[in-house]
Every structure is written in C-alpha cells, then in structure tokens.
Amino acid sequence: MGVIEAQLQIKSFLNMPLIVRFMANDAKALVEGLHPLERKVLPYIIEKAPLSEIVKKSRLKDIEVMRALQWLENKKLVEKTTSTKDIIRLDANGEEYSRKGMPERRLLEAIKDSKLSFEDAQKKAKISREEFNVCLGVLKKKAAVSVEGNEIKILNNGINALGKKSLEETFIEKLLKEKDAETGSLHPEEKFAYENLKRRKGIIKEDIAKTITASLTDEGKEVRSLLVKTTGKEVFIDRITPEMLKDGSWKKGKVRKYDVRINVPQIYGGRRHFVNQAIEYIKTVWLDMGFREMKGAMLDTSFWNFDALFTAQDHPVRELQDTFYIKNPEKGRLPEKRFVDAVKSMHENGGGTGSSGWGYRWNPEEAKKNVLRTHTTVLSAHTLAKLKDSDMPAKFFSVARCFRNEALDWSHLFELHQIEGIVVDPDANFKNLVGYLKEFFKKLGYDKVRVRPAYFPYTEPSAEVEVFHPVKKRWVELAGAGIFRPEVVVPLLGKDVPVLAWGMGLERSIAEYFSINDIRQVYNNNLKMLRGIKMWGK
Amino acid sequence: MPTITLNKKVFESLVGKKLTLEVLKENISYLGTDLEKIEGNEIHVEVFPNRPDMLSEQGFARALSSFIGAKKGLREYKVERSGEKLIVDRSVANVRPYTACAIVKDLRFDDEKIREVIEIQEKLHITYGRKRKRAAIGIYPYEKITPPIRFVAKNPKEIKFLPLEANKVMDGLQILSQHPTGREYAHLLEDKEKFPIFIDAKNNILSMPPIINSHDVGKITTKTRDVFIECSGFDFNVLSTCINIIVTALADMGGRICSMELIYPDKKRITPDLKPREMKLDLGYVNRRLGLDLKESEAAECLRKMGYGYAKGKVFVPAYRADILHQADLAEDIAIAYGYNNIKEEIPKVATIAHEDDFEVFKRKLANILVGLELTEVNTYHLIDKDMQTKSSCLDAEVVEIIDSVSKDYNSLRFWMTPSLLNVLKNNKHNEYPQKIFEMGTIFKRSIKTESGVEEASRLCVLLCHGKTDFTEIKQVMDYVFRMINVKCSVSETEFRPFLAGRCGRVSVNGEDVAYIGEINPEALKNFELDMPVAALELNLTDLFEAMNK
C-alpha cells in the first residue's frame, strides 16, 4: 500500500463516528457525532428491526448497514442480536438440474420409446456415467425401469412418472424460487425429498443462516428521537471540501465531530535496508576518527587473500570446506614480481626480516587460485601494497562483505560484513592500539573496554577486545585486534612499519540490536519486516 | 578452536599450587586461552591453534605454572641416548619422506594415562598435524618391538597386518577401502604407488602411517611401560617440534626421554632434540612495538614467566614451542607476561584526513532519491542459484561458478541483479502490494582486465510489482533519478529476452549503454511463480559514474 492509498483509508477511518460514553446531556453531542451512515440507519430502527428490513428501507448496501449498526452498538445506542438456523440451499448440480431437468427424468425420456443399452441410454440422456448409475438405482427403486442384461427398459411406473413432477423436483423448484428452506420447517414430502437428495452428489447443501436484528437501547431511543426531530433543520458537514472553503459554506453547517483517539491504519514510507543504515552509522564513526575508506574486489586471488597475509599454504582455513573457490576462472594472475618474490621468500625463509618463515617451498599455483574474499583484511593488504612513504601516517577503514563456505542456518551466514580499520604509522605501538580501540568502542556506545591475549594468524601481538555490555551487565567479546606481523607488512610495504589493525563482524550486532534470533532473517528480505523495522537508533 | 579437559587435581599437582576458581579463571584468560567451563573436577579450556604445546594437561599446566610464578624459566628435560637406530629407507621419499622418533621409558600406564596419551595424539593430529596430513603420530609398546625399526614404502598389496579395531588381517588397499579409519584418511595416500610402513627387525609391521597402527604391536595397554613414538610427514622441523611436544608431556607424566638415531639415506639425525633455540632479544624493537619502556631485567622476568630462558641478551626458546618465528612473537609473550590489562592506552596526536569513497557517496545519493519515491531497499546475496539467474530469468550467460558450494542455492556469482530481486518478490507474495523495491549491489563477469580474471561492477536494480505497473511507471522512476542527478539519458528500443518484446529499452548516457528498462517477460514471471506484472530497471552504476565524470 502506497501513501496515497493509505491516506484515502485514513480519511474514511477518520469519518468513523465518535465513541463516547453516554450521559443524559450527551444526546445532543451524540447526534452531532453521528456518521452519515448512522444518520440514515437509525431512523429505521424502531422495534426489533431485522437487517434485511433496514437494508430495504434505507436503500443502503448490506455492508454499510452492518457497519453503521456496529458503530451504533459500540456507542451502546443499539443492541444487535444474532440468531441462527439450519437451512438448505441448492448446490452446483442442483442448480444445473433445475435448468436441464433431473437426470432420472432425462433418462426416462431417453428410453420412453424403446429399450436401449446402458451406453446408448446414457449418451442419449446426456448424463455422466456416475449420474447414470445413480439414476438407475433411483428408478429401479421406484420400479420405473427394468434391466435385462445390458439393456434398460421403461416400465409403466416410469411412463406415469414422466407425466408428473416428482417430490424431489418439486422441492428443487421451491429452493430455486425461495433461495433456501429452513431445515426445521419442512413438510413431510419435502423432508422425504430432502433425505433422498442429500445422499446424491452436489445437489443440495446444508448451511447455517444468520439473522441479525437490531433494537434500540434507552439511550438509543433518546438519540433517535432527537435525530428525527432535528433532521432537515441543520446542515451536517462531514468532510470539509475545497468548495466549502472557497464559498465559506463550512461556517453555515454543523461540523461532525471525530473521535481523535481512534486507531488508524498503518502506513509506511520508502526505507533503506536496516543493514545499510547500520553501515552508514559505523562509517560515520570511522570518518569521525579520520579514517579513509578502502574498497576492492570481493573475488580475488589466494595470493592477496592468504599468501600476502602470511597464511601458510597448508593452513586449514584454505581448505575447501571453509573457503569459496571459483570454478571459472579457477586461477588468476599473480601481481607484480616484486610482491610475488617478497611474499615467496617470506613464506620460505622469512625474507631477511629475522623471521624463520614457514620453511617450506612456496607454490605459486596455490596462490593463483581465485577465492571469494574470506575477510576484508585483503583490502588492507592491497592498501599497504599501494601505500607510499609520503602517505604515512595513514588510517584506513572498510565495512564490506566477505564470504564463508558454510551452510546457512540460524546462526551462520555465508555472506557477512566485516568492519575493519588499520593505522599505518611508523611510531605506532600496542599502547596506541589499545587507545584507538577504547575511543572507537566508546563511540559505539561502550564505555568500558578491555583487551586480553588472543591469536590471529596475521597479527602479533594479537588481542581480543571485550566491552562491558551496558544491558547484559557483563563483558562480551566484540572484536579482534593486533599489530600486523612483519611477515605481512614487509613484502607489501617494503619495510617493517607497525600497522595497527582491528575488526569485527557486523551482523551479530545488528541481530542483537533488532532482537533478531535467527540470523538468516537479516537477509531474507521479508518486505513486511523491512517496512516495519525500527530505525537504527544509535 | 580445540578444547582440552583438565583434571583439577592432576592439574593442581602439575602446577604446584592450589588455586581458587577466580584466580584460575583470571590467569587462564590473561595467559591467552579461554576458560570454557568447570564441571566438578573437570576444567574445560580452549587453546589457541598457535600453541599446540598447550594441548595436553601437562603442557597447559607447564605454561600456567610459569605464568603464575610457581615454576618460572626454561624447563630442562634430560634426554638419554637409547642407542637404538631407525632406518629411513629411500623408498619413502615420494610418499612421506620424513620421520622423527623417540623412546620414552618407565611410564606406568593406567587407564587414565592411556586416555591422556590418546587425547594428546588426537588433538595434535587435528591441529598441528592438519588432520594427519602434515604430521601423523604413532605410539607403540616398545617391549613388543625388535629393533632396529625401518621406515619403508612398499606395494600396498604386500603390506599385510591386523589393523587396530579390525578382526582380520588386511592388505594396504583393503585397509583404505574397508577399515573405517582407513576410509577416513584414504585421501592422504590416494594415487601413491607405494604406502609407507614402520616395520621391525622381525618383519612385524608396526603401522601404516598416516592411517593406522597394528593391533599386535601398535596398541598401548596397562601392561605397557616403555613406548616408541614416531611422527611422520613432509617437513622435518614440524615433525621434530611435534615429537618434542609429546615427549615433554610424557616426561611430565613421569617418563624418561630416550633419543634415537635416524639413519636417512644421506644424513643422520638424532631425535628428540630438546636443545632450546637461541634468539637474540631486540629489546628496542620489543619496547617500540609495545609502547613500553622495559629494562632488560624486566623483559627477562617476563620471558621467564612465559617459560623461556634468558641470559645476556639471548632468549632460549623451549624446543616444544612451534610459534616463535620473529621478535614480534617474543614481544607478544612479553606483553602477555606484563599483563595486557597493565598496558595504559594512549592515542597519538596524529592528523589524518577522513575520506569516504566518492562512489559510495554517489550511491547514497541515489538511495535517498529512491527512498523519496517510497521504494523499499532490499539486501540480497551475491551468490545465487545458477539456474535462477539464467534459465529462470530467460537469459543465456556465462556466469562465474563456485567449486563445491555447500548448497545449490548459491553455486554461482550473480551476473546481473534482476533475478535476485525477482526472487525477493517471489518470497513476498503473501505481503501487501504494491511492492516497489531496489538494491544497489555488485555483479561479476569474466574479464581479462583484472588479476583474478573477473570484473566486478555496481548495479542499481529497481523492480515495481503490482496490478497496474507498466513501462510508464518504471520510466518515470528512471527519469526522476536522472533529473535529480542532472544527467541526460536517451532510450532506444531493444530486444532482450528477460523483458517483454516491444516494451524493453536500452538506456545510454554520453553514448555509453548503461541500463535496460522495461516490463519483465511473463515467461520469467511464471518461473518465479509471480502472478503480478513487474516493471524493471537495471542500471550499471559503475559505467554511469564514469560517464558522468568524463
């Protein structure tokens, strides 16, 4: 529903009459608050008035009268009583038979001159196989036909039957004429016909009919008589129209009162996705702290995703069950030779940095394999590779997607966002890292932050960041942090400059903020949810 | 991360101190591991994968007892010479070229110790051993073996022995195909002509690494006193560290470590080698990295708390530590000993200029325009069912596919956006109409321009879906967007199967084709089970942005 349609609905809801508790002096107020429909209906309720009668007299539609009665009842001016009775109506076959004649009559007609085989009789009578079988039973029971082998022949009773209406036919005619019949008030003949027809397929159906009757309460009587008295003497204005405003006629009438406490239907506006809203917010935090945004490809070679980050080529994170590898193109190109050589010797022997490296033979083919980035740290690697001495000190951030080859379930996504920042500064140290972390998380609303040892493959020292959760009243793990290993920095930057880094996932915080228990709901794009979810409030 | 279970009593006797729960919790956390839970007498802790030496009760207790100051500094382990040799045959060079071995004597095994040993072996297999690929460990009752032991590779059909947990003698191939453990690890010997075995002087096969031990000579019982331990794989240093981790844990259990002489075709080695590795401490580097001002004596004290030895500028790294590659690793351990919580934070006064990516700013502008038109932004995955974005969407295209995706629902990367959004409509049929949605996302296509061979571009997709939507309505949306960003576009008639013929336009800006606009082909709607018309715009934002900035 767009705004326009919704506004139309609101208008009609505002038109709904005022509901106030009745007091002696309120009769006048109540009359003034009556909806045009109520004004039309109320005069016709004198004693017990059945709905059908009010409809007829007021010349309104059923639904309009029902609505008016409901509103009047809400105001305790009218009492509605509903009585029910069991009724019988024609069903689809019944209606058809009332036009074409009963199948047994058609069958008798077909064979009245000569006996016929079953097939021919059925064809000539234009009835279905099933109908034929039913008719045969019915007619045999009445001794109207006899069956010899595969042939059917009319008997005297049958010829007589053709000359007059059967009880069933009479009953169907009645139902056609009167729309329905009350089960309890059938004559014995009708009852006999009803019992017979009930057993046959789709001729009649049983139903429950509701009869609504309205009667006035004492207050209702008072309001009605006042209404009847004043009708025609005052002009009631329901909606202020442009014409009324132009000619000033709104002043001349009595403006109907609305119930301003009324519930109106909900509308919604255009919305950004709540994840993107959260991302915008996080980005402002980074920008406030002087960070520059990093962007880059989601699909990259293992060289950048793993090797450049000193992830050993036999490390389990590189296995197929964790990482999305690409079928076509399976492999990409390696970058400039200087990066390849530096990364290769770093893995093999530490590249003269004083590190021992991994001590294996580095395989360039392994590094060419294309992957969907498993972390956004790959963006940091690209950034370092492009950074010039004159750019330092520098700070970068990204809020971007990464991928994990996992089955989707209530707590796992295969595409998720990481929030990540790096500080490249020759003078930076672990103390500064803790400083940045405290500032960053303070901006996110966590005043108490602490770090404790952790392990991440590409940072040393590494730290787990815990914040004191103001609602849960306990420490919770929120992010990982550390200083990039020299084995990562040197091949990319050409020298060992401290690179402070920290990062965290986005989706879990989002799920927590919006009380989403099943993480899949974050991306299932249920429009009802997207339209109704609260704004990111931080 | 692997978890290990510590028996509180055994652990306390190993640590050499009784600790209250609180102190234990705090220390475990500040040592850099995670206390999972305590259940009665059992303490469950998580160990980081860079510390395989802490994967045993003994190893963990060793680290903690230094950390809390009960037994600081380098642990000395005595290694006796057993005088036994192990011959490494040339034939293993192509299968599993290296082994490192040891004998540990005087272990009095009981059920608890057997469990502990098996647990160390299993945890090392999974983590440091990379599921036996990098290192596989075998432990044998030494009494049943007649030295010298040989490590040789043989034709699998000639390898016949009774494997553990089996009821009949099998050959190498049968083990891989019939034995449960064989099947689990069969891939490690796939395509190998010969399989490696350890075999003793009496031609008893000890085991077929990295798969399984023999039932007869490869099973530890409560009667076992001395054990032979081997570790096989591809990198001698890894194996040597691995054997060191095991023998030091066994020594902490009360065993005596004895070395063996390994006769390789071209050289001799003696393992285990528990001589600590020497590293020079670069105190300046450590202080610069941590932002501290530690004196040598303070740094030395920190190192001792972490189980290192230190003398005159030299750090003695225990032979069981697998994670010390660089000064940075020493710096971390020093920081851990110093206490992360004792490091006072400090933000340097460095001026940097913030900058949001220009393209991202442009995208936000577009989003605001579209939200103003009462559109709802959706957020879909980049991975999509290949059939959905091709066949179902009436498009033939070569798309970038994934190897072995966990699910068919995301076996390819999207080549275009419209199918992702049609799928959103499909999943929202029960919700109120009109449904007007948009997304700005990335698409993937083959290209020789990039290193990976795949080019990524940003697209905007808008879908309008309700009973009365049509070309006019989507064109109004597009025109409004272009007016708001002050860009002139032209539309020409085109045919594009996902769109209804005669109602599809190609949109260009500055002579550059940037978008398709039109009504979606009812055939595609049917494939997405939609019984409501859909008008669509798919706009290449990367190209538009370029065309605008030309």
Helices (H), A15-128: 26-32, 36-41, 51-58, 62-74, 92-100, 103-111, 118-125
CB–CB contact B407 A485 (8 Å): no
- Measured between CA atoms, the residue of chain A closest to residue B452 is A332
Q: What distance in Å separates residue A517's CA from the closest CA in chain B?
A: 18
What ranges do the domains of chain A cover? 3-77+217-255, 89-208, 275-532
Q: What is the CATH number of domain B79-271?
A: 3.50.40.10
| Ordered strands of the A49-50 beta sheet | A49-50, A204-216, A78-90, A181-182
Tell me which residue has tokens 């000639």: B158
pLDDT at B14: 79
* Mutation site for A-interface testing, chosen from B283, B293, B345, B530 by largest number of A Cβ within 10 Å: B345
- For the ranges B115-124, B423-432, B471-480, the lowest mean pLDDT is seen at B115-124
User: Cβ atoms within 10 A of the Cβ of A11, count?
Assistant: 11
Closest-CA distance of chain A to residue B512, Å: 23
**Residue A10 pLDDT:** 45
Are A435 and B454 within 8 A, CB to CB? no
Of B472 and A236, the one with more pLDDT = B472
Q: Does A409 touch chain B (CB under 8 A)?
A: no
Given this model, what pLDDT does residue A16 score?
Answer: 54
Residue in A with minimal Cα distance to B339: A452
Nearest Cβ partner for A415 among B341, B383, B433? B383
User: What tokens does A251 get?
Assistant: 């002043």
Distance (Å) from the alpha carbon of A310 to chain B's nearest alpha carbon: 12
Q: Which residues are CB-neighbours of B11 under 8 A, at least 6 positions away?
A: B43, B57, B60, B61
Chain A residues 28-87 with CB within 8 Å of chain B: none
Question: What's the whole-number mean pLDDT along residues B467-483?
Answer: 96
Which residues, other chains included, contact B247 with Cβ-Cβ below 8 Å and sequence gap of 6+?
Answer: B77, B102, B104, B229, B255, B257, B272, B274
The whole-angstrom separation of Cα B464 and Cα B534 is 5
Q: Does the domain made of A275-532 have the CATH classification 1.20.210.10?
A: no
Q: Describe the strand order of the beta sheet including B309-311 as a list of residue ranges.
A: B277-280, B314-317, B309-311
Q: Average pLDDT of B458-487?
A: 97
Distance CA A465, CA A456 (A): 13
Measure the CA–CA gap between A466 and A476, rounded to whole angstroms.
5
Measure the CA–CA gap between A199 and B49, rounded to whole angstroms.
Answer: 77
Distances A385 to A5, A293, A342, A378 between C-alpha atoms, Å: 55, 16, 12, 11
Instruction: Using CB atoms within 10 Å of the CB of residue A253, give its burial: 0 to 12 exposed, 13 to 18 middle, 19+ buried.
Output: middle
- Non-local (6+) Cβ contacts of B44 within 8 A are B3, B4, B5, B6, B35, B36, B37, B38
Mean pLDDT over all residues of chain B? 93
Phi and psi of A199, rounded to 5°? -75, -15
| Regions of chain A with pLDDT less than 70 | 1-25, 538
| Res A85: pLDDT | 84
Q: Do A453 and B32 touch (CB under 8 A)?
A: yes
- Range with the largest mean pLDDT of A103-107, A507-511, B11-15, B437-441: B437-441
What sign for the dihedral angle of Cα B193, B196, B201, B204? negative
Contact A327 B401 (CB under 8 A): yes
Task: Identify which of A167, A8, A1, A17 has the alpha carbon closest to the alpha carbon of residue A78.
Answer: A17
Q: How far apart are CA B301 and CA A20, in angstroms?
A: 83
Judge: B431–A438 Cβ closer than 8 Å, yes or no: no
Distance CA A479, CA B309 (A): 33
Rounded distance, CA A364 to CA B90, Å? 28
pLDDT of residue A25: 56
List own/partner pairs for A260-265 with CB under 8 A and 24 or more apart: A262/A13, A262/A14, A262/A16, A264/A9, A264/A10, A264/A13, A264/A14, A265/A6, A265/A9, A265/A10, A265/A13
CA A291-A456-A509 angle, 5° bins: 60
Cα dihedral A180, A186, A191, A193, rounded to 10, equals -40
Place of tokens 């960070």: A291
Cα B460–Cα A398–Cα A462 angle in degrees, nearest 5: 150
What DSSP assignment string belongs to A237-253?
E-S--HHHHHHTGGGTS
Token pair 């309720």: residue: A45
Pick among A326, A355, A443 to test the B interface (most B CBs inside 10 A): A326
Percentage of chain B beyond pLDDT 90 is: 80
DSSP characters over B278-307: EEE--HHHHHHHHT----HHHHHHHHHHTT
For an interface test with B, give the residue of A379, A404, A525 to mutate (most B CBs within 10 A): A525
- Candidate from B24-28, B354-358, B413-417 with smallest mean pLDDT: B24-28
Cis peptide before B272 (omega within 30 of 0): yes
Which positions in chain B touch A462 (Cβ < 8 Å)? 332
The pLDDT of residue A17: 52
Percent of chain B beyond pLDDT 70? Answer: 100
Judge contact between B502 and B495, C-beta under 8 A: no
Identity of residue A13 = F
Measure B131 CA to nearest chain A CA, in Å.
9
For residue A487, the chain B residues in CB contact (below 8 A) are 325-326
How close, in Å, is residue B85 to chain A by CA atoms? 27
Q: Rounded to 5 degrees, what angle do the CA atoms B13, B16, B18 make?
A: 80
Q: What whole-number distance in Å separates Cα of residue B232 and Cα of residue B229?
A: 10
CA atoms within 13 Å, Cβ hemisphere of A222: 14
Task: Indicate the residue type of A294.
Answer: M
Neighbouring CB atoms inside 10 A of B215's CB total 15
State which residue of chain A sits closest to B358, comparing Cα positions: A293
A with B: how many residue pairs have Cβ under 8 Å apart?
277
Residue range A89-208 forms a domain whose CATH class is: mainly alpha
A 449-488: CB under 8 A from B: 450-455, 460-463, 483, 485-487
Q: Among B282, B332, B435, whose Cβ lies nearest the Cβ of A460?
A: B332
Dihedral over Cα of A520, A524, A530, A532: its sign: negative
* Secondary structure of residue B173 in the 3-state scheme: helix
Q: Which residues of B fall within a CB distance of 8 Å from A356?
A: 325-326
| H or E, element range at B94 | none
The verdict on a CB contact (< 8 Å) between A324 and B382 is no
**3-state DSSP assignment of residue A228:** helix
Q: Which residue of A has its CA nearest to B369?
A: A270
Q: How confident is the model at residue B30 (pLDDT cuts 50, 70, 90)?
A: confident
* CATH of B3-67 given 1.10.3720.10, 3.20.20.450, 3.30.56.10, 3.40.50.1370: 3.30.56.10
In the CATH scheme, what is the code of domain B358-548?
3.30.930.10
Residue A520 touches chain B, beta carbons under 8 Å? no
Asked if A298 and B382 count as a contact pair (C-beta separation under 8 A), the reply is: yes
- pLDDT-based confidence at B164, cuts 50/70/90? very high
Optimal mutation site among B31, B124, B281, B350, interface A, most CBs of chain A within 10 A: B350
pLDDT tens digits, one per residue of B190-234: 889 999 999 999 999 999 999 999 998 888 999 999 999 999 999
In the stretch 293-322 of chain A, residues with CB closer than 8 A to chain B read 293, 295, 297-301, 314, 316, 320
Cis preceding-peptide flag for A491 (omega within 30 of 0): no
Distance between CA atoms of residues A17 and A258, nearest Å: 6
Helix (H) / strand (E) element for A304: namely: helix A302-305
